[in-house]
Amino acid sequence: MNKNLRYLTILMMAPLFTAGLYSHYYEADAAKSEGDNAPGRLSNDSYGSKNNNVVCGDTLCKNYPGGKDGWNQDQRKNKTTVAPTLPLTDKTDSKNEMKEKNMDYVLRLSRANIPTNIPMHKGFYNGADVYYIITDSSDKTHADVISKNQDWKVELAPLLAKAPVSALSKTYMFTNGVKGNGIHGFQGEVFTSTPAQPEIYSALTSHVHVTWNEGINPRILDSEEEILLATENGDVSLNEVPVVLNMPQIVWPGGQMVVKENKTLTDETPYGGGQVLNIDTKEMTVTFIAHRGWGPDGRTIYYIVTDATPSGPADMMGVISAPTSANLIANAAAVDLFQFKNGIKGSGPLGFQAGIATGAPGDENYSPMWRISVIGWTDSSNAQLLENIGDINAYKQAGLIDIGIARPMNSDHIVNCPFIDPFQ
């Protein structure tokens, strides 16, 4: 029995998912696009010349005067939205023909999967090397300083400050001493856990400053034990800082993130099998796959995937299993992300349209920690393209979609998906 089929059997026990959903989730080849191209939307891009298969309210844009742009102008002018009550309104000779036509719609987002290079840092765990990235900070000053030092943007995520201690791992950061590639320009950070200790590992780290006391000759300290001993001896002082950083580990003693075997990316590349394309410890870079989706207002967003809980989805995606993230399921540090389990086929992780997040970079409620909910069309033949939270609310109120929180393996499901700019 191959790995995908074996894991599919396990996940079929999850109450809110169907076997069909997981076959898409784990065997994404089945979701490859067919039919006419239906362009997605970048921030300022226009739709295809005929707006083929793109939906304006309850009609195809190609049938609306002026196409998608005309429809948008009318919505802004009238400040109203079209009530979602009917399936797509192409004229057909029978209900069955209508249903068959609707099920053929495919949303092909351009640049749905693209490579992105992220700078790595070198730290320590129990005397051995750890390579990691920094993607998010709960504090603006740290976000700005780290962004400048690594020449790659760290997103501000104030909600991370609300994460409970049980969802954090402790990291020591030096404010003086031996010069190095650490966050503050000195020796590398010292971690208290790695993915090899899954019961305590978290990419979200609490922030402890280590400062060499005056008159002490600084040296490299590469373990928590050495730091605590130096503290007892009066060599260094410790100061806990109310800052949470998202610092996913890429390489750790005895392990590393899965590197995807097929490194050729297309808009139809399967979601599973690894999220990393290359790890270069000499150049200090890691290449992730950036996936495209929608922000809460319909803007384009890109995200990477670094870790998840429970272990099943983590293994499928080829990311780190981080059980401590389950402590965020009812916490404000996690925000909702909606994925689709049926409807219009597309580049989303379940084989249908791309997901929609409730927060995006620059928003007060942005967080890289996602609490996944799944949207299902009550009648797939009614499926239309949803692009923002307003769309979700309208179609939910109309009774056309159902929404349920994802519980694969009957467990709390959290995914660490930092939003990034892959073009910086």
One DSSP character per residue, 293-312 reads EE-TTS-EEEE---EEESHH
The 10s digit of each residue's pLDDT in 245-283 is 999 999 999 999 999 999 999 988 888 899 999 999 999
User: How many angstroms from the chain centroid is the CA of residue 136?
Assistant: 12
Write down the domain spans for the chain.
Answer: 35-103, 118-252
Angle at 67 between CA 64 and CA 73, to 5 degrees: 95
| Closest CA relative to residue 354, chosen from 383, 400, 385 | 385
pLDDT mean across residues, the chain: 82
pLDDT at 105: 67
What tokens appear for 308 in the block? 């998840």
Q: What are phi and psi of 140, to 5 degrees?
A: -65, -40
pLDDT at 22: 36
Token pair 């979200």 is found at: 204
Percentage with pLDDT > 90 across the chain: 70
pLDDT at 40: 28
| Averaged pLDDT, 194-215 | 97
What tokens appear for 311 in the block? 């272990």
Residue 332 in this model has a pLDDT that exceeds 60: yes
pLDDT at 65: 63
The 10s digit of each residue's pLDDT in 156-189 is 999 999 999 999 999 999 999 999 989 899 999 9
CB atoms within 10 A of CB 166: 12
In sequence order, which ranges of 295-388 are alpha helices (DSSP H)?
Answer: 311-317
| Closest CA relative to residue 210, chosen from 180, 233, 193, 189 | 189
| Closest CA relative to residue 132, chosen from 124, 147, 120, 144 | 120
Q: What are phi and psi of 236, to 5 degrees?
A: -130, 160
pLDDT at 73: 61
pLDDT at 263: 93
| Averaged pLDDT, 326-345 | 96
Lowest mean pLDDT of 180-184, 224-228, 243-247, 375-379, name the range. 180-184
pLDDT at 417: 97
Q: What are phi and psi of 26, to 5 degrees?
A: -105, -15
pLDDT at 15: 30
pLDDT at 64: 52
| Averaged pLDDT, 293-306 | 96
Percentage with pLDDT > 70 across the chain: 75
Number of H helices, E strands in the chain: 8, 23
pLDDT at 326: 97
pLDDT at 69: 66
Buried b (16+ CB within 10 A) or exposed e, 368-377: bbbbbbbbbb
The 10s digit of each residue's pLDDT in 8-66 is 333 333 333 333 333 333 333 223 323 332 222 223 232 223 344 454 544 455 555 66
Confidence class of residue 213 from pLDDT cuts 50, 70 and 90?
very high
